[in-house]
Amino acid sequence: MILMEIQKAGANARARGENFLDNPYYKPEAMPAATGESVSDWQAKAKNWEFGWNMEDMARHPLVAA
């Protein structure tokens, strides 16, 4: 899965009301020890999912200037 698709998956998860900690890359079976991938590859996926989730969250709850 390319990183843009992972970002979209994170955004879609937020749109469905999923929690930030529902990141699928945090599940034990998706961690490097289980998948055999490098930590840097796993981290890139986890961070991109978080980025998508955060972008959708900000769209739903924009900061209001005082």
- Under DSSP, the state recorded for 29 is G
pLDDT of 66 higher than 60: no
d(CA 18, CA 39): 25
In the chain, domain spans: 3-60
- pLDDT tens digits for range 23-51: 999 999 999 999 999 999 999 999 999 99
Question: What is the full DSSP assignment across 15-28?
Answer: HTT--GGG-GGGSG
- Contact predicate 65/26, CB 8 Å: no
pTM: 0.88
- Contact predicate 44/38, CB 8 Å: no
Q: What 3-state class would DSSP assign to 45?
A: helix
